[in-house]
Structure formats: C-alpha cells, structure tokens
Structure 1
Amino acid sequence: MARYIGPKNKLARKIGEDLGLKTNALKVARRLTSKPGQHGAKSRRKTSDYGTQLNEKQKVKYIYGILERQLRKLYTEASKNPTATGAALLSLLERRLDNAIYRLGWTGTRAAARQLASHSHIRINGKKMDVPSYQVKVNDIISLTSKGMKIPLISEAIKENSSKVTWLEQKGAVAKVSRLPERTDVTESIEEQLIVEYYSR
C-alpha cells in the first residue's frame, strides 16, 4: 500500500488524536471530535479487540509516516526480544533517521524530516545519507550539509530550537547519538502492546 498523501488532519480525526502530522496542533485539536466526512460519522459501533489493535497499529504508521511492510519488518526484528517486544519496536521506530531529525527540532514534522533526508541534506558520520529509514546507532554523528543549513525554515528552527530529547546530544546543526532511545523517550500516546497483539495473532 502506498504512503498516504492526503489531508493530514483527516488522519488525526479518523484516529481521534493529534498525531503530530502538522504544526497547527490547536486547529487539529478543535476538529478531533468530528470524524472525516461532510458531517462526520453519525454513530460509532463498539470497537472489537481486533479493531482496537488495528487502530493502534494504524495510528503508529500515521505518526511515523511508514508503510505496512516497514512496520512489519521492524516488528519482526523487535520480536527477537520476546520479553519487551513492544518497547523494542518503539525504539526501532525512534531510531529512524527521519524521526531523529524531527526529535532534534530541525523540522516541524516527520514528513518534513523525511524530505530533508531524501534530498541529501543530511550527513551521517560525515557522509551524505538520503535514506530516511536508516537506523541511527550509538555514536553516530548526524549533521546538516552546508546546503541544508541554508534552507530558511531549517536555519530558523535550529536558532529557535528548544528540543529536550535526551538520547541525542545536540550542538547547533550537529548531533550525536549518545544512547539508544528507550520507551520513556516516546512522547506520543502509544499502546504498543496492542500492536504486539495484532501481529502475534
């Protein structure tokens, strides 16, 4: 299935939560009470266990902007840790390069971070990296190219940056992965156990 490129607010309304897909969070919040459609959904059936699990899986896909095959691949890797599969899955999602860029505050959304990486504006350990799904590792150095630093929105974001992410040590347009992200580093409301239950059916 292709990546969703339609209205981002529609996804937030579908899930019923602000997924951080747009920078105008207040506007999103005001519309979360109505479902997508001309007048919103007239009624909602009680969601089954499967439906709840599916909804959580979809929510994570929307938040991180990934495809089903990408999430399933990460789950397969995370399941090698049977005692903490959910936490391992979230750590792998957090370690995506586009997410790391977003966490650093260099972009307002993960979609913008993904574009920044895809357009070769990011370096990993001094070498250009244009793969948004790249898994950052401890001691990796993430930096912007000189061309990337000249992008007005990016340079302004770095100047005004107030990111408090603790697994990334940042100094201007350069950051070091000091440790792997843990469950407590995920700020979004995610019930990862539901995703584990969905894939382990």
Structure 2
Amino acid sequence: MSRIKKYKIGRRLGAGVYEQCQTQKFALSEQKRGGGKRMTKRKQVSDYGAQLIEKQKVRFSYGIREKQLQKYVKDAMSRKGSHADHLFEVVEMRLDNTVYRLGLAETRAKARQMVSHGHITVNGKRLNIPSYKVSAGEIVGIRAQSQNKGLFENLEEKIKDTKTPNWLSFDIKKKEGKVVGVPKIGTAEFFDLAAVFEYYSR
C-alpha cells in the first residue's frame, strides 16, 4: 500500500493505525492541511459508524483481512471471560505482530514480509505463516541463514529503544525472543474492542 493511501486512512481512522502516520513527516503534512480542523461541518457519526471505525482500526493496524477478523471475533465470543481480552490476545500474539513487538521490524508490514519470506523461526524451525499464534514458552528467532542479511544489520542499535511488552523477552546475543506470558489489553489502547463486538453483533 502506498504512503499516500496510508496517510488518507490515517486521517480517517487516526494516526495510530499505521507506524508511518506516527512520524514528524505525517504531523507536518497535517499541519499544512490545517490539522484536520477545517471549517466545513462534518456529519455526526452514528453508533454504527463509530463501531465501523473501531473495526477498521483493528483491521488496518494489524493488517488483517475482513474474514480473518470475523473468525477471530467469533472465536473470542465462544470463549469464557472477557471477549475483548481474548480478541486482543489473538491479534497481539500473531507471529508477524510478535516480530514487530520484539523490535526486529520497524512496522507490522515489514514484520509480515520477514515471516512470509522465511526469515523467522519458532522453536528453531522456519515458519512462514504471519497469522500463526505464538504460545507462552515458544522461542521466536532469526533464521541462521538470514542473520547476515541487510534486514538485520546493526540489530542491537535498532532495538535498543524498543519497549518490549512484558509478555515478551529478547536476548540480543542469541538474536531471539521468548514468549513469557499473555498480552493484556490496557486502558490506553488505540482502539475500542467492545465497539468491534457491537459491530459484529448487529
């Protein structure tokens, strides 16, 4: 997807939807456009419209197809406990997102590409399925044949500022991360998962 298209989606759904929309370049482009504070009146968003926006935030943030998200929601609703917690767990623990959270890739799109191209291993075995859900105790690493590729040059420098979530740990010497827990949804998340369930319950 082109940068211009991502900027348009970021303006509609919020800067948090893409990493490229969380840059100074995007902020400056918004300032030039008036920061989104134009004089034209916007239509009031209906409940359905608000729910649709939250659903789209999840889709575009994680790079999930509509059918995939529908399946995730259906599975979450079939489980006991908080449906939102279950949905957050499954999207966060996708292999491509795990690679991104470990700091091995700058964006989820790049992480997805790394996985698809066979650069990532789980428990020492190459795995090229971005949607694979990692589990506690599993080791996510860089394939030995890929470690010297440009993708992973200066890895220590790249990840030094990465804030690894508490459900993951990373060993820079071994160039591998470990799943040490389960992600928990926080109050500061970019999207409202309750609205996503309301959307699919219609």
TM-score (normalised: structure 2): 0.86
One-letter amino acid matched to 1:165: P
Question: Percent of aligned positions with the same letter in both sequences?
Answer: 34
Superposed, which structure 2 residues align to 1:40-189 within 5 Å? 42-81=40-79, 83-161=81-159, 162-163=161-162, 164-172=164-172, 173-184=175-186, 188-189=189-190
Matched-pair contact (CA < 8 Å) for 1:138–1:179: yes
Gaps of 5+ in 1: none
Cα deviation digits, residues 22-41 of structure 1 (max 9, x gap): 27612223345759xxxx89
> Per the alignment, do residues 192 and 24 of structure 1 end up closer, same or farther by CA in structure 2, a change over 3 Å counting?
closer
Q: Which runs of 4+ in 1 moved over 4 A?
A: 32-35
Gaps of 5+ in 2: none
Matched-pair contact (CA < 8 Å) for 2:15–2:22: no
Q: Distance in 1 between matches of 2:147 and 2:40?
A: 48
TM-score (normalised: structure 1): 0.86
Matched-pair contact (CA < 8 Å) for 1:23–1:108: no
Superposed, which structure 2 residues align to 1:11-30 within 5 Å? 11-22=9-20, 25-30=23-28
One-letter amino acid matched to 1:200: S
State the aligned residue count: 192
SS at match of 1:22: helix
Q: Distance in 1 between matches of 2:143 and 2:196?
A: 37
Cα deviation digits, residues 105-155 of structure 1 (max 9, x gap): 111100000000000000111110000000000111100012332232423
Matched-pair contact (CA < 8 Å) for 1:13–1:31: no
Q: Once the 2 structures are TM-superposed, how far is the Cα of residue 9 of structure 1 from its aligned partner?
A: 1.6
Matched-pair contact (CA < 8 Å) for 1:92–1:135: yes
Q: Distance in 2 between matches of 1:24 and 1:189?
A: 12
**Match of residue 195 from structure 1:** 196
Matched-pair contact (CA < 8 Å) for 2:18–2:60: no
> Per the alignment, do residues 167 and 122 of structure 1 end up closer, same or farther by CA in structure 2, a change over 3 Å counting?
same
Q: Distance in 2 between matches of 1:70 and 1:80?
A: 16
SS at match of 2:17: coil
Q: Distance in 2 between matches of 1:25 and 1:101?
A: 21
Q: Distance in 2 between matches of 1:73 and 1:43?
A: 37
Give me the CA root mean square deviation.
2.3
Q: Distance in 2 between matches of 1:86 and 1:102?
A: 21
> Per the alignment, do residues 12 and 41 of structure 1 end up closer, same or farther by CA in structure 2, a change over 3 Å counting?
farther
